[in-house]
Amino acid sequence: MQQVYKATDVGLVRKGNEDNLVVFDTVYAVADGMGGEAAGEIASQMLVDTIKEKLAGRDNIGERELCQAVQDANMAIRHYVWEHPACEGMGTTATLLHIDEHCCRAFWAHVGDSRLYLLRGGAETLEQITRDHSYVEDLVREGTITHEEAKRHPQRNMLTRAVGVMEELVVDSGQLTIHDGDIFLLATDGLMKHVEDTAITHILRENAENPAQALLNAALAAGGRDNITVVVVSLT
């Protein structure tokens, strides 16, 4: 069985919420729009609308179908930009998860710096499944800076990949076998900026009535500058 919790909030500083989320059938996604308030909101909305349009009611969703939905959203946003040249540069992150009907396998697709995490059974810590497509992530991988330095780096918000920015888009994807008790977390960076992995793990283990809301509240309590969006999928 899958229990799903979701929460999104504008945060304490921004005027608009450029984040979006979608939860339907057994498809879950978060999106973090960029390109100025209205454009960012439009981009992340177009992403979730396209996912719903392409995948709702479909059988046999796998990596390929998730990636194609992201590619379709990329083209939809590019078309919008062609018609609205002032919006050039608008785009969105996309992190998608699908659990198959037998709760045996999880499929994911991903672009940008939102994240998919897995908290498994007796594991002490979260496992980050997706890799950030960001400038600072590349620097960390090269060994130029540490993870801690990345969090404070002046260019920490610079993405190397986003949906809607260019015609050519590479979408990461993967799949894994599910174990009883697995908890998946999808989140935009508004959560990770303020809440450490250890605190996230603790909150997910707490059995809060709504763990997504509990995580969001933790980000707000820590200052919550950015928009915050969280989806938690708990498998029992």
226 interacts with Ca ion by CB under 5 A: yes
Nearer to Ca ion, 164 or 190 (CB): 190
Closer CB to Ca ion, 44 or 234, in the complex: 44
Q: Which two tokens stand for residue 11?
A: 């945060």
Q: Are strands 94-99 and 105-111 parallel, antiparallel or unpaired?
A: antiparallel
Q: Least distance (Å) from Ca ion to the CB of residue 158? A: 12
Structure tokens belonging to residue 19: 């984040």
Structure tokens at 218: 């933790």
Is residue 32 at the binding interface for Ca ion, with CB under 5 A as the rule?
yes
Residue 179: CB minimum distance to Ca ion, A:
30
Q: How far is the CB of 159 from Ca ion (least distance, A)?
A: 10
Task: Kindly state the smallest distance separating residue 120's Cβ from Ca ion, in Å.
Answer: 26
Residue 189 engages Ca ion in binding (rule: CB under 5 A)? yes
What the block records as the tokens of 189 is 């960076």
Cβ of residue 28: shortest distance to Ca ion, in angstroms? 18
**Please, what is the end-to-end C-alpha distance for the chain in angstroms?**
5
Note whether 159 and 113 are within 8 A (CB): yes
Which string of DSSP letters, residue by residue, matches 64-89? HHHHHHHHHHHHHHHHHHHH-GGGTT
3-class SS at 218? helix
Of 6-14, 48-56, 119-127, 189-197: span binding Ca ion (CB under 5 A)? 189-197
**Residue 132 in the binding site for Ca ion (CB under 5 A):** no
- Closer to Ca ion by CB, 99 or 230: give it: 230
Q: How many chain residues are in contact with Ca ion, going by CB under 5 A? A: 4
Q: Closer CB to Ca ion, residue 97 or residue 187?
A: 187
- Torsion region of 175: left, alpha or beta (phi above 0 gives left; psi -120 to 50 gives alpha): beta
CA distances from 155 to 139, 150, 151, 182, 190 (A): 11, 9, 9, 34, 16
* Among 28-36, 61-69, 118-126, 142-150, the segment contacting Ca ion (CB under 5 A): 28-36
The region of 30-38, 60-68, 131-139, 172-180 touching Ca ion under the rule CB under 5 A is 30-38
Nearer to Ca ion, 105 or 225 (CB): 225
Whole-angstrom distance, CA of residue 236 vs CA of residue 231: 16
Question: In terms of CB distance, is 32 or 182 closer to Ca ion?
Answer: 32
Can you give the C-alpha Rg of the chain in angstroms?
Answer: 17
Residues that bind Ca ion (CB under 5 A): 32, 189-190, 226
